[in-house]
Structure formats: structure tokens, C-alpha cells
Amino acid sequence: MPWLTVLWLLPAVASLVVMLMPAGRSENAKHVAFGASILTLVWAVIVATRFSSDGRGFQLVEDVSWIPAFGARYTLALDGIGLVLILLTVVLTPILLLAGWRDVSTASGHARRTHIYIALMLAVEAMVLMSFVATDVLLFYIFFEAMLVPMYFLIGGFGPAEERVRSRAAVKFLLYNLFGGLIMMASVIGLYVVSARSGLGPDGNGTFSFIDLSDAAATGRLDASSTTLNVLFLGFLFAFAVKAPLWPLHTWLPDAAVSTTPAAAVMMMAVMDKVGTFAMLRFCLGLFPESAETFAPWISALAVVSVVYGAICAIGQRDVMRLIAYTSISHFGFIVLGVFALTSQGQSGSALYMVNHGLSTAALFLIAGFLVSQRGSALIADYGGVQKIAPILAGTFLVAGMATLSLPGLAPFVSEFLVIIGTFTRYPVAAIIASIALVLSAMYILWTYQRMMGGPERKSVTVDQSDAPIRDLDLRQKVVVAPLLIGLLVLGFFPRLALDYINPAVEHQAHQVEQHDPAPTAEEAR
């Protein structure tokens, strides 16, 4: 049974089916898409039951010749890190489809507008799933780039922003990521040339197999100078740092996040952008272990800047949706810091952080989106006293905000703690500076809650709908928010549910590339 092929084909085929449905059947198209996303979730759970948490390395391998002329193969495989990110993706997709149920209408005169929107969402899901299981470097690169196309149209074609603003944000998103992809393509070609020179592949003429290339890199069988490998490493890293994004390549994210619908923005920040940090952990460390060790201090410094910069920028925002987007930049800095701390604690924390950030950002952004959709303004100054008239909305916003600032008992706390501990053993100064973000995050979350949810009820002074009363969450919105908050609580108290799968994968890769945790000093041992 091609378990992993079926996994990504389910949303891909559903996307095509939705596009082929009659134009006047928008409600039917929504139900088909939602049903397909639930089916994908069920299939992913079945795949998870067939995955052994005790096993190290890759499982459920599928390997078929694809382009034999230059050693490209259709190779899929799954490890523990890929599994937890797949589960995050398939859980969030039906939630996002339900959250955006009324975001797109045909009132503009485009009869197929709803069809296009949900088909693009399913297409992004399919390509992200493929990226998490592809173990052929060329195959991964193709889907790494292809997912930009549906996301470009989601940003540029839908959302509350003016068409001019959406178009500008979509073009900025595409140009940044295409430029990163262009650099990566050159590195992919260079890596293939190195593999051919090293006699890798079935016929010794080169290969794109990640497993073969990582084995060769670990054993020193790649016929290339350290300078060449460093250049190839930087090419891969640049593309992944754009998608993550990492400071100073981050500027496309806030514009894109506030231009499209909240559901599509969450698909981008909580799902698609994880491909960048996931690829750092798998490809940058797996293919170039010595280069990763060489550049780790510099990348860690950039990650610390991202952590602090994102938090400071969040404090200064007047737009609540842009504020949440900047918090993601700070959190991605933590994830990258954990990856390049080159410790088992840091990397396990980083992988867990990817999952926890997906849940917390989805909850906070969607709840804020529900509020903003009622008044038509995202300005913090246009709100006040919401907790008096919409207590469930205000309460769920507070819980999601507390998760964002890593309150103990909620999921992000464990992952952030692991990242800081793992970083401190190798780069104590970086860990201490990054910890400042804990204070900054409390400032931007609590201050935002105080201004929007506390105090007297405030009427908007910037939009025509100022007299429209704020309503509490309806049944659909409660169904959207509940599983996210439950996930934050469950992983907050039982992080082993994810770490039992993540830790063996991290340990296997560390053993593969001969990465060792720093030994404690005599004083630390006492």
C-alpha cells in the first residue's frame, strides 16, 4: 500500500474535483473540500498507527524510478519529525476550511470564486504534505517551489485588503521566495555534480537521494572541498530562511498575513512556513554537517535577532493582525535557534515548537479574525470592553495569547524551554538574550488584551460599522477554536505524545552526522 502517496494525493485530487464542480454549487464545493480534508486526516491517523515510535530512521519507504537519465527518483519516506508535522497539517486544514466558510462569497460576480479559494487551500495542503515525506532532493525542491503558486493566488485574490494592497503583498511574497528558490536550484544542481564526481547513485553517475547523500556526507565520501560544501549549504539555507522566515529576510510575511483571509494566513504561517524550518533540520544538517557546525554561531546570532526584533515590532503595532504576524517572526527565530544549537534538546524543542506554534498561532489569528470580521477594522484602538459583551471570544483570545507567550501548562512552554536549555549548553549568551523575548511577549499580549478586551466598551471611530454590536462566538466558530485550545492544553501537560516520535528522529540524525551534546564541566557536574 503506497501510504504516503495516497496521503498527498487525497487533497490534490479533491482540489481538482472542486475546480470541476458546477459554478453555482459553492456550498456543495465547500462540503466536498471539508469531507476530503477529514478523509485526509483519517488516513494520516492510519499512517501514524503504522509508524513505529521505537524505530529510528525512515519508515514506510516508497521508491520508484522517476527520471533515470540523471538519477532522480520518486522516493517518499517518513520519520518522527515529518510525522508530527503531517499530523499538524491534516488537523489544521479542516479547521481552516471551517473557519473560512464565509470568508469568500460570489457577491463580487465571480461565480467560481468560492471554488477557487478552497481548491487553492487543498492544493497548498497537498504540496506541504509531499514536502514532509519527499526524500529525493529534486522532488522536494519541485514541491518546495510549487506551493508558492496557490499561496500567491490566495494572497492576491482573497482577503479584506484592497486589491492594490493584496497584489503588492502577493508579488512581494512571490519575488522573495522565488529568488530564494533560484539560489536553492543552483545548489541542488551543484550537489548533483558533487554526487556524480563522488561516484554516488546506482550507476555512479550521480543521485538526488537524500539518504545516499547524507550517508556520503557523514562518512566523508563527498568529493568536494569544504569551500564548495559551504557554498552549497548557504544556498539551501538562504531559500529555507526566506520561507521560514528569518531576519532580515522576513519583510514579506506581515504584509502577506494581513492581506489575505485569516484562514489562508494561518495556512501560510502555521503550515507552509514550517517547510522552511523543517528543511533546515533535515537537509542543512543532514547533507552539510560540517558546514552547519561552521556557520551555526552566525545563524544562531541571526535567530536571536529575529526573536527580539519580532517581539519589539509586535509591541509597536496598532493592527492586531499585523501584531500576531510579527509574533510569528519571533517564534520562528526560536525554532531556528534550536536547530542550530546543534544539541539534542535544542533540536527536539525546535521540532516540537513547530507543532506548538502552529496550534497557538492558528488559535490567536483565527479568534482575532472572528472579531475583526464583525467590525471591519483590525486597529486595536477600535476595540474595548469586548470581554463584557463577548466573554467566550475574550476568554479564548486570552488562552491563545497565554500560549503565545509560553505560559507553563500550555504547549509552547515546553518547546521554548527545551530550545533555551539546548542553546544554553552551547551558546549561553544567545540563550540569555533570547530569553528577553519572554518578557517582551508578555508585554505585547497582555497590553493588547487590556486595550481590546478590557475597560469600557468602545465604538469604532474609523469605520462605518461603528454601531454594529460585537457578538460572541457562534457554534461554527466555537467548533473551530475548541480543538486548537484542547491541543494546546494536551501538549502542554503531555508533550511526550509528540516527543516520543521526535526524539528518536533527532537522535538518529545526530548519530548519523556525529553530532554530540556538549559535555558538562566539572562544576556543572557537581
Could you report the per-residue pLDDT of 504-525, keeping only the tens digit for each?
Answer: 888 877 777 666 667 554 444 3
What is the Cα–Cα distance from 405 to 377, expressed in whole angstroms?
Answer: 25
Amino acid of residue 248: P
CA atoms within 13 A on the CB side of 98: 23
Q: Please state the separation of Cα 118 from the chain's center in Å.
A: 19
Give percent of the chain with pLDDT exceeding 90.
Answer: 35
Pairwise CA distance, residues 58 & 143, whole Å? 20
DSSP state of 209: B
Closest Cα to residue 358, out of 91, 7, 101? 91
Count Cα neighbours of 258 within 13 Å in the Cβ-side half-sphere. Answer: 23
Rounded to whole angstroms, the Cα distance separating 192 from 363 reads 42
- Select the more confidently predicted residue: 108 or 361: 361
pLDDT confidence band for 203 (50 / 70 / 90): confident
Contacts of 107 (CB under 8 A, 6+ apart): none
Higher-confidence position of 114 and 2: 2
For residue 271, the tally of other CB atoms under 10 A from its CB is 26
Strands (E), 281-336: none
State the Rg of the chain over Cα: 22
Cα–Cα distance between 440 and 376 in angstroms, integer?
Answer: 28
Mean pLDDT of 362-376: 88
Residues 437/440/446/451 CA torsion (nearest 10 deg): -140
Q: Label each residue of 109-170 as H, E or C.
A: CCCCHHHHHHHHHHHHHHHHHHHHHECEHHHHHHHHHHCHHHHHHHHHHCCCCCHHHHHHHH
DSSP summary character for residue 520: P
Predicted confidence (pLDDT) at residue 160 exceeds the cutoff of 80: no
Confidence (pLDDT) at 111: 56
Q: Bridge-partner residues for 352, per DSSP?
A: none
pLDDT at 461: 54
Range 415-422 average pLDDT: 90
Q: Please state the rounded mean pLDDT for residues 231-260.
A: 89
Query: Residue 140 above 90 pLDDT?
Result: yes
> Is residue 274 within 8 Å of 243, Cβ to Cβ?
no
Q: Which residues contact 450 (CB under 8 A, 6 or more apart)?
A: none
Q: 49-53: list long-range contacts, CB under 8 Å, 24+ apart.
A: 50/3, 51/78, 51/80, 51/83, 51/501, 53/80, 53/500, 53/501, 53/504
Nearest to 33 by CA among 263, 360, 319: 263
Mean pLDDT of 83-106: 87
Cα within 13 Å of Cα(414), Cβ side:
21
Give the pLDDT of residue 523.
47
User: Where are the domains positioned within the chain?
Assistant: 61-109+134-525
187/281 Cα distance (integer angstroms): 17
Average pLDDT value for residue range 440-459: 81
- Amino acid 524: pLDDT: 46
* Res 526: pLDDT: 43
Give the mean pLDDT of 194-218: 83
Q: Taking 90 as the threshold, does the pLDDT of residue 116 lie above it? A: no
Average model confidence (pLDDT) for the chain?
86
Residues of the chain above pLDDT 70, percent: 93
The total number of residues written for the chain in this structure: 526
For residue 234, pLDDT beyond 50: yes
**Contact status, residue 364 vs residue 325, Cβ threshold 8 Å:** no
Cell of 458: 468602545
